[in-house]
Amino acid sequence: MTRPSLRARSIAPFLAMEVMERAFELERAGADLIHLEIGEPEFPAPEAAVEAARRALASEPSRYTDSRGTLELREAIARSHQRRSGVRLDAERVLVTAGTSPALLLVFTYLLDPGDEVVLGTPHYACYPNLIRAAGGVPVFVPTRADQGYPLRADDVRKAITPRTRAIVVASPANPTGAIQARADLEALHALGLPLVSDEIYDGLVYDGARVTSALELGDDVFVLDGFSKRYAMTGFRLGYAIAPSGAMRALQSLAQNLFISVSSFAQRAGVAALEHGEATTAAMRESYGARRALLIDGLSRLGLEVPVIPRGAFYVFADARRFASDSTALASRILEQAHVAVTPGVDFGQAGEGFLRFSCTAPEARLREALERIGRVLR
C-alpha cells in the first residue's frame, strides 16, 4: 500500500461528519437517532428551486456551463448581495462552485504559496485549517473570548501577523459560536492591509434584530464566501460561490476550469429560483430556529451544560460540558452510543473548543425535547 503524502496526512477527519456517518450506521441497525450534529436545515428547499431543477432535468440538456457559473445565476447573486448589503456588485466578480468549501479551496489556492500563513479566530469552523493546509498554507489561530461575545479583534490579530501572513479569515455569523462581528471590528481588521476572507454563509439566519455587515461594504479588495445550503435549505444541491476582487478572477477561473470544470447546470437553475422566490423559506427558518434556540439553551442549562454566549446567528448552540468530561470526543461518543443523540465534539472547532459540545437547532421542537431527556439520562 502506498504511503499518503505529507499534505494528505496533515488533513484531520471532520468530526461532525464522522459522528453523522456513525449515526447512519446505527440507524441502519434500527436505532432511532436524533441528529443535532450537522449543520443541515430540516426544512425543505424552496419549492420554486425544486421545480426549476426538475424542469431543467426534464427538458434541458444537462451539459457543461461556463466554469464561473451561468451568467443568469451570477447576475442573480449580484442582485441578492446588493439587496442585502447595499453594495452594487458586478456579476463578473462572482464565481459559482459546487458548495462553499470548493470556493474556499480555490481562494486559498489563489492566495497561498507553500508555507504561507492565514490568521483565523478560534473556536473556528472545523474545515478552515484543513482547507488552508490542502492549499499548502499554515493556519495561525487567534483565540476569541466568550466573555466578550467571541469577536475577532484586530489588536489580537496584529500580534499574530508575520512576513508570511497572506490573509485573515473572518466568519459572521460564525460556526460554532453564532457570533456576529461588529462593523467596527471588521473595519479594524480590514485596515490591517491583508485580504479578508469572509465566510457569510449564515447571513440571513440571525436573531434578536441583529444585522450582519458584509465585508463587501468595506471595499473591493475582499473575498466573500457564500452559498445556498443554509439560507435556502439546499445542502444536497451543492451550490456555493466566491465573490473576489476583479484582479483575482482570471486566476480563480483558471483554477476552477482545471479542478472542477463547472457546476451542474440543473443545480444552477435551482439557485436562480431560490434567489428569486426563496425568501419565505429563509424567514420561516429564522422564526423557527429562534424559538428552537431558546428551547435548547434552556434545556441544556438545566442539564448543567452552560451556554456562555447566546448565539445571535446561524443555528447552533455551543455549550460548555467540562463539568462532565474534559474529552469532548469521548463524551459525544457516549451520548451517541447510549442516548442515540448525535452531537459534535467541541474539539472539532479547534483546541479552544475542547470540553464543549455543539448542538444544532435544526431538529423539530419535539425531537429537541426528547434529545434533552435522553442526554440527561446519560449525564446523570
| Sequential DSSP letters for 59-112 | HS------TT--HHHHHHHHHHHHHHH-----GGGEEEESSHHHHHHHHHHHH-
| Bigger pLDDT: 316 vs 6 | 316
In-domain check, residue 256 = yes
CB 14 within 8 A of CB 128: no
Q: Is 70 in the same domain as 121? A: yes
Residue in 98, 218, 206 with CA at minimum distance from that of residue 170:
218
pLDDT tops 80 at residue 10: yes
Q: Is 109 in the same domain as 230? A: yes
In-domain check, residue 310 = yes
Q: Is 261 in the same domain as 301? A: no
Domain boundary among 253, 277, 301: 277
Domain boundary among 277, 299, 327: 277
- Which residues make Cβ contacts (< 8 Å) with residue 206, sequence separation at least 6? 173, 180, 212, 286, 312, 313
Give the pLDDT score at 343.
Answer: 98
Q: Is 218 in the same domain as 248? A: yes
Q: Is 121 in the same domain as 231? A: yes
The label of the residue with cell 456579476 reads: 91
- Extract the C-alpha cell encoding 270: 435551482
Q: Is 372 in the same domain as 291? A: yes
Q: Is 76 in the same domain as 206? A: yes
Q: How far apart are CA 75 and CA 276, in angstroms?
A: 11
Q: Is 229 in the same domain as 298? A: no
Q: Is 20 in the same domain as 145? A: no
Rg of the chain, C-alpha, whole Å: 20
Show the domain range for 363: 6-44+280-379
Give the pLDDT score at 60.
Answer: 87
Neighbouring C-beta atoms of residue 4, cutoff 10 Å: 10
Domain boundary among 211, 244, 277: 277
Give the pLDDT score at 330.
Answer: 98
In-domain check, residue 51 = no
State the pLDDT confidence band at 237, using cuts at 50, 70 and 90.
very high
pLDDT tops 80 at residue 1: no
Total domain count, the chain: 2
Q: Is 261 in the same domain as 194? A: yes
State the pLDDT confidence band at 121, using cuts at 50, 70 and 90.
very high
Q: Is 67 in the same domain as 124? A: yes
pLDDT tops 90 at residue 108: yes
Give the pLDDT score at 340.
Answer: 98
pLDDT tops 90 at residue 43: yes
In-domain check, residue 50 = no
In-domain check, residue 53 = no
